Each structure stands twice: as C-alpha cells, then as structure tokens.
Amino acid sequence: MAEGRILVTGADGFIGSHLVEALVAEGRPVRAFVLYNAFDQRGWLDHLPPAVLDKVEVVAGDVRDAAMVREAMRGCTQVLHLAALIGIPYSYVAPASYIDVNITGTLNIVEAARQLGVAKVVVTSTSEVYGTAQRVPIDETHPLVGQSPYSASKIGADQIALSYFLSFGLPVTVIRPFNTYGPRQSTRAIIPTIITQLASGAATIKLGALTPTRDLSYVTDTVSGMVAALDSPRTVGETINLGSGHEIAMGTLAETIARLMGRKATIVTDQERLRPQGSEVERLLADNAKARRLMNWGPGHSGQDGLERGLEKTIAWFREPQNLARYRAGRYTV
C-alpha cells in the first residue's frame, strides 16, 4: 500500500463517492474503505468513471473491526471518516446497530489514528445532533439533543472523537453537515423520495411530516467543506457546521421540486413515514460563520436560487433512465 494516502471511510456511499471523485480530480492519492460483502460490490464507487476508479485504492472491511481499520489506515497520513449507519427510521428498530457502527466504529478510527500518528482526522457528524432548533441560526455552541437513536449515536461519536483531541492531542476535526442532497442519494432521504415518485408518474406524492424545515446543502458544497476542513490547520479540535444558511419547509420543498419538474401532484402525509412523537426535528437552520472564518468555506448553492440550481442538477441525474431504474419509486422502507 502506497504511503501518504488519504483514507476515506464510507467511500461507497452517497457523499463518500462524491468525496473520492473530488479528491481524485485534485490529484490526491486516495484509499477508499468500503463495507465488505461477498459480492465484491463497492457501492457507488462502482458507478464512477473507470478513469477515476483506476486511481483509487479500494480496501474492503468494516469499521467495527479495530484490526482491519488499523491495517486500512496504515500508510495514510490523513483520514476522512464518513462510514456510519445514517437512516433515522431504522434506528428506531435496530438502535444497537447504530451504537456499534457509529460510536465503536469512530472509536476504532481515532484509536488507530493515534497509534499510527496520523496527521489529521476529519469525523463526519450531522445537524441532527442539535435536535429541534432552540435558537436560529444554529451555531456550534447550540445544545446537543438526541431525538432519535441515530442522533444520539452521532453525539456519542462526536464526543469520542473530540475526547481524543483533548486527551491525546490527536488532530481531530468534527464536521457537521446539514441535510446534504444530490445525485446518488438514497430514497430514504426526502429529495430523492419526491423526485423518484414524480419521475415515475405518480400523481400523489407520499411524504412524512410537511411542516419541519431543513437547511439543504448540495453535495459538492458538503464535499468542498470536508476537504477545506482537512486542509486548514485552524480546524484542529474544532466542531464546524456545513450548511447553506437557508431553510425550507418539507411541503414547500415538494411543491418546488414539482414545479421544477413541470409536474402537478397532490402532496400527502403518509402515517407510516412519520417519526415517533417527540422524535421529529422541527427546524434546522445553519450558522456557517465559523466555517467561513476558520477555513474560508462558503456554500456555492445558497439561498432559494442556489437551492433550485442544486435541485435542477439532482433532478436531471434522477431523470436519466439508467439512474431512475436503480430506485423503487414510491416504496417506503425503513
């Protein structure tokens, strides 16, 4: 294994695959850590152009296996840790899995990095750790509230990572992306859920709660923020939001997407898609001033105009028949 690489965990996922693509485009050596499976499938990495994938060293394993994590990290000087269980509905039925993957997996990452003397570790968190906004915009000092087992597990993972900075001086940064969207995202997220139903000809769009608001970031903005956090020496020991600074209600989002797609549809709440009472995060709106200050990062898709530009690119990708065929439009799975 070559020396000096950047280890990207969760490289087979939605954001991870975009991150790998961006790093390769910048000429950076990447080792992609993907979840082992007997079919030798590498998630979304398998759909990258061969010219990109040929430049990536792929290692299959599991972040829950400390020995495997250490071997995958050997020879890497930097780590971008994205591997996690992220589906909120599944965390209600299998919470122990989230503790195992998200907390123990992160512990394995930072412990291996400490043992190997890694120069920088960027740990990916989530805006869900804030719970429903107690004040807006949400800055990094906002209280942490675990309103789902998923968000509670991410709070734990964040604190494990930061404890390694405080206890051992490990150069760790925690990045908190607000809701990221774009090509390749799962229909467990709201934007692909809306687009795939409309693209498949549905006249009625089934969603969960329509009134909560979210701060939506196009995937290239989240990726550029992660890379900026990796590169900036000022981010060590810090927790930093990545968000657009613009919020939109989920019902309004569905109407916007329908308009951009030239479709008319009835939007309804499907009771099966609602979170348990007390678990719904009602409002998220990012304060991204710290990211601007510490690493000179700002979203390329800001405000309503930026959101619509990102949505148009996402819609175009999902409308490609070979892409839409990968999804089960209208089918709800936890």
Enumerate the domain spans of the chain: 5-180+218-242, 182-214+246-281+301-324
Mean pLDDT within 236-241: 98
Q: Please name the helix (run of DSSP H) or strand (run of DSSP E) that holds residue 88, with its range, or none.
A: helix 88-93
The pairs formed by 318-323 with CB atoms below 8 angstroms and a separation of 24 or more are 318/183, 318/192, 318/195, 318/196, 318/199, 319/199, 323/183
Question: What pTM does this model have?
Answer: 0.97
Whether the pLDDT of residue 2 is over 50: the answer is no
pLDDT at position 4 is: 78
**pLDDT band with cut points at 50, 70 and 90 for residue 5:** very high
Q: How far apart are CA 53 and CA 112, in angstroms?
A: 26
Phi-psi group of 88: left, alpha or beta (phi > 0 → left; psi -120 to 50 → alpha; rest → beta): alpha
Q: How far apart are CA 8 and CA 5, in angstroms?
A: 9
Mean pLDDT within 192-210: 96
**pLDDT band with cut points at 50, 70 and 90 for residue 3:** low
Mean pLDDT within 34-55: 96
CATH code: domain 5-180+218-242 is 3.40.50.720
Do 5-180+218-242 and 182-214+246-281+301-324 share a fold?
Answer: no
174: tokens are 């925690």
Mean pLDDT within 136-144: 98
pLDDT tens sequence across 155-172: 999 999 999 999 999 999
**What architecture does CATH give domain 182-214+246-281+301-324?**
Alpha-Beta Complex (3.90)
